[in-house]
Amino acid sequence: MRIHLATTFVDNQAKALSFYTDVLGFVKKHDVPLGKEDRWLTVVSPEDLEGAELLLEPAGHPAVQPYRDALVADGIPVTAFAVDDVRAEFERLSGLGVRFTQEPLDMGTVITAVLDDTCGNLVQLQQLI
């Protein structure tokens, strides 16, 4: 068994696609229209094009906003991405204007940083050490 698809709820799919591809560096995998406005929109790591997909799911369900608001208020990331060098990614992404809610923090066996994805979520970057 392996993870095939994970979901993150986003305020605006077009904005999310731009952030996750142009800024974070993911690659669009699927973009299928669903109705008038929504899409089945997934991205993958350029390092594993056949790997786990991240679904950029519209945040229209009434339960989504209170859930995300509570997580953001408490500083809890909705998901985490592995990187080789958190500090280098922090510098690169900061240079692109990405807002971090937690700068790189060495926690013994992992270095983490937390960013705002501009679509209603906090995302953690992790480097195992």
Confidence at residue 49, expressed as pLDDT on a 0 to 100 scale: 97
Q: For residue 100, give both structure tokens.
A: 């971090």
Confidence at residue 99, expressed as pLDDT on a 0 to 100 scale: 98
The 10s digit of each residue's pLDDT in 45-90 is 999 999 999 999 999 999 999 999 999 999 999 999 999 999 999 9
Q: How many residues does the chain have?
A: 129
Domains in the chain: ranges and CATH? 5-128 (3.10.180.10)
Quickly list DSSP for 93-121: HHHTT--EEEEEEE-SSEEEEEEE-SSS-
Confidence at residue 32, expressed as pLDDT on a 0 to 100 scale: 98
Confidence at residue 71, expressed as pLDDT on a 0 to 100 scale: 98
E strands, the chain, in order: 5-10, 27-34, 38-44, 53-58, 79-82, 100-106, 110-116, 122-128
pTM of this prediction? 0.96
Q: For residue 114, give both structure tokens.
A: 């937390």
Confidence at residue 6, expressed as pLDDT on a 0 to 100 scale: 98
The 10s digit of each residue's pLDDT in 91-118 is 999 999 999 999 999 999 999 999 999 9
Amino acid at 79: T
Mean pLDDT of 32-37: 94
